[in-house]
Structure 1
Amino acid sequence: MKFVSPLIPGTLIKRYKRFFADVKLDTGDIVTAHCPNTGSMKSCAEPGWKAWLSKHNNPKRKLAYTWELVENHLGHLIGINTHNANKLVAEAIQQNRIPELTGYDKIKPEVKYGNENSRIDFLLTQSNQPDCYVEVKSVTLLEQDWGCFPDAVTTRGQKHLRELAILAEKGQRAVLLFLVQHSGIHQMTVARHIDPAYAAELQNAIDAGVEILAYGCELLGDEYKVSYQCPFNLHKKVDF
């Protein structure tokens, strides 16, 4: 995936009201950028960290800038735009860079399904084999050398797990894919210390046959793409 325009460097001043971030550009100008991330962004939005913005020329947009990446105090690059997760996964599937999801000839995004009025991120289809339902979650929280999801209580995420579990019990292939947008994360677990209900639903989903995948992405030159697999350990406990 390539960004729509060259990224513009700056320094984060603050993130506020969830969807806004003030950034001082390297030119000295201070701008307000759209923050496309509804999560807590725990450990991803510290004032003074290096930030990169994309700029859009659409006159209908209230904010010309979008916050895309941040670099933490350890030099880790973090993709904070959760909308990029599905773009990255779709491209990786199309380019056969996720071995577990090869062999399908059609990829349908945002398909309605389930009993709780849900939409699956991707429905993969191929004649003569069961459909594959893929739900994607963006991961940016690093704690004690482990990537953790979620970074805040998510009733929506719990609902998705219930929907996937029902699919798996009916014999469909159901996959939960954690897309790691943090270059410091190379192993993953569930953040049961943040959302124990999500952890319980995840255990139920796995017991029902839902597959868990975790892949990380990197910025390589001017291209941002899925590039490595992360081991997932459901039972790892991150202590506090």
Structure 2
Amino acid sequence: MKYGEIVRGIFEKRINRFISEVYIDGVKIQVHVKNTGRLKELFQPGAEVLLESTNNPNRKTKYSIIAVLKENNWVNIDSQAPNAVAFDAVKEGKITEIGEVDFLKREVTYGASRFDLYFKQGDEEGFIEVKGVTLENEGIVMFPDAPTTRGTKHVLELAEAAEKGYRCAILFVVQLKGCRKFVPNRETDPAFADALLKAAEAGVQILAYDTVVTEDGMTLDSAVPVELI
């Protein structure tokens, strides 16, 4: 996926979940944050950031933060990007564990949930739930970075769909390079970690892929080992 016009800035502070203060060319302005997660390890004063510009007259802010520089590598923090990247990768058959699909659609309702991707593969039907991952520590990437009741609900309903014969997968899109394994963040959200184990036992594929993050985009790259326990 590609962004439009991109500018660089220097992060100052986060005001709330949606707004931060950033210096662009030495001028401090308020910008939109395209992620409501905590991101404390990334949003440090003085961190270099990438911002997407918009000309939408209805927007209160002209810029949105899409990436943060961490240890000389860009980490994409756009919460909408993983779904777009996953859709493109599945459509192009780039995810080995999924393979080629005959039909692919975004945001399809099943039961009380709306899963990110629905696909057909011959006589099989399936769902893929996509989760963006930005939390990294010494090469280990984790999800979530804050408790997510909604995420746990989706995982459990995906497990139910798998038990009813659908082919199901949870795809963790790691929004950076240089990681060696993915683990659920049990310390932050034990319920989500337990749900992930239950889903795996029900036959849901638990997948993680890293990405190549550039100044103007992000693409799915390589599989990352998953460790659930």
Whether the TM-score (by the shorter chain) exceeds 0.5 is yes
In structure 2, give the amino acid aligned to 1:61: R
Q: How many Å apart are 1:39 and its aligned residue? A: 1.3
Report whether the alignment pairs 1:201 with 2:195. Answer: yes
Report whether the alignment pairs 1:150 with 2:149. Answer: no
User: Any residues of structure 2 matched to 1:39-54 within 5 Å, and which?
Assistant: 39-54=37-52
User: Any residues of structure 2 matched to 1:71-82 within 5 Å, and which?
Assistant: 71-72=69-70, 74-82=71-79
Give structure 2 stretches of 5+ with no counterpart.
none
Of residues 94, 99, 104, the one that matches 1:107 is 104
User: Which position in structure 2 is the counterpart of 1:11?
Assistant: 10
Q: How many Å apart are 1:49 and its aligned residue? A: 0.6
User: Which position in structure 2 is the counterpart of 1:169?
Assistant: 163
User: Which position in structure 2 is the counterpart of 1:22?
Assistant: 21
User: Any residues of structure 2 matched to 1:128-139 within 5 Å, and which?
Assistant: 128-139=122-133
Of residues 51, 54, 70, the one that matches 1:56 is 54
Q: Deviations over 1:51-106 (max 9, x none)?
A: 0101000111121111100002x223111111111111111122222122232122
State the distance in 2 between where 1:89 and 1:120 align: 13
Q: Deviations over 1:194-230 (max 9, x none)?
A: 1111111111111111101101111257542111111
State the distance in 2 between where 1:173 and 1:32 align: 44
State the distance in 2 between where 1:214 and 1:194 align: 19
User: Any residues of structure 2 matched to 1:26-37 within 5 Å, and which?
Assistant: 27-37=25-35
Q: Which has more strand, going by share of residues?
A: 2
TM score, norm. by length of structure 2: 0.95
Q: What's the RMSD between the two structures over aligned residues?
A: 1.4
Q: Deviations over 1:131-164 (max 9, x none)?
A: 1200000001112431011111110011011101
In structure 1, give the amino acid aligned to 2:226: F
State the distance in 1 between where 2:216 and 2:50 align: 13
Give structure 1 stretches of 5+ with no counterpart.
236-240
Of residues 203, 209, 214, the one that matches 1:215 is 209
Secondary structure (helix, strand or coil) at the match of 1:215 reads strand
In structure 2, give the amino acid aligned to 1:107: L
State the distance in 1 between where 2:208 and 2:40 align: 20
Contact 2:175/2:213 (8 A) holds in 1: no
What is the number of equivalent residue pairs in this alignment?
A: 229
Is the alpha carbon distance of 1:166 and 1:155 closer, same or farther for their aligned partners in structure 2, counting shifts above 3 Å? same
Is the alpha carbon distance of 1:223 and 1:19 closer, same or farther for their aligned partners in structure 2, counting shifts above 3 Å? closer
Contact 1:109/1:123 (8 A) holds in 2: yes
Q: Identity rate of aligned residues, in percent?
A: 37
Is the alpha carbon distance of 1:150 and 1:223 closer, same or farther for their aligned partners in structure 2, counting shifts above 3 Å? closer
Contact 1:142/1:184 (8 A) holds in 2: no
